[in-house]
Structures are given as structure tokens and as C-alpha cells.
Structure 1
Amino acid sequence: KVYSKSEITTAWNGKAFLKLMVRWMKTDIGAIGFHQIPVHRDDGTVYQTEEELGTRLSGGCQRQAKEDAEFLWKFAKIGTPVVVI
């Protein structure tokens, strides 16, 4: 279930900003959650395009297009169940 949310946070390695982070699982190095496509801290460019969503470019989080991340951010409250299929 969703246990916390942040409008913006930093990736575990400190190299990226993650906007609209909705966390649902804790790990040894941080958290797994849903968030907008990450942006590089140094220059603000995105790590991937929307066309690349769903490919193996993540460390575990579910990356989303801006519109989808905004919807989930508004929809998911603390305690909302998350089911992984």
C-alpha cells in the first residue's frame, strides 16, 4: 500500500530528481514507487522518452508520463492498496 508521497525527491544515487513520487515499497537503498520520468540533476534533461516507458531502464520504480503521474498523484492517498501482477 502507499505509505508516503513527495512532490519531488532525489533518486537513491543522488543523480536524478523524481517528481510526484508515490512510494509503496521500502528497500535497503530507498523506496520503490510510481513517479514521473526522472530528470538529470545537473542539466534537467529527461532520462528517457515517453516512448521508452515500459522498457528496462528503471531500478525498480514504475516511471510514468507526466499526465499519468499527475493522475496517480491525485488519486492515490496514503493507505491506497498497490497490487503487483
Structure 2
Amino acid sequence: MRTLQRWDKALQKGSLVDQRKSAAQLRTRDNKLSAEERQKVLNICNQSEYRSLPPSQIAPILADQGIYIASKSSFYRILREAG
């Protein structure tokens, strides 16, 4: 009960901050795709030769041509986020 009272008091003051050690570490992924790479994926998926294919077929076709931009799951994620 006392913890709840402290949190409520801190919230009213506007000083309620997460003080866990892990909270301060905002981790960014080193292998995150750049905006240019994400746009490249969208451009490729919108080309007429790939437009009707799912990412599970596009990624291997590109790999056979020696082109690697992102994984199949990244293709799916980027397309889902783009709508």
C-alpha cells in the first residue's frame, strides 16, 4: 500500500520516472534497415514483374540474381507497415 501511495504522490508532482537500470537503456538495433533500404524494398515489390508475387517468392528470385536487400520476413513487415 505504501508503494502505491508513493507512486501516486510522485505522479501528482510529475516526477514519476522509471528508475530501473534497464529503463535508461534505449536499445537501437544495429541491423535495422535504413529508410533507403525500406524504400528499395517497396520499389522492388511495386515493379510490374514482382507486383503479383508474395515476398516468399521475391526474396529468393532476387537472391538468385545476387541481390540481397532484406529477408523475407522483413519484406512482409515493410509491406504490412506500408499498408
So what's the TM-score if we normalise by structure 2? 0.29
User: Which one has the bigger strand percentage?
Assistant: 1
User: Which one has the bigger helix percentage?
Assistant: 2
Structure of higher CA gyration radius: 2
So what's the TM-score if we normalise by structure 1? 0.29
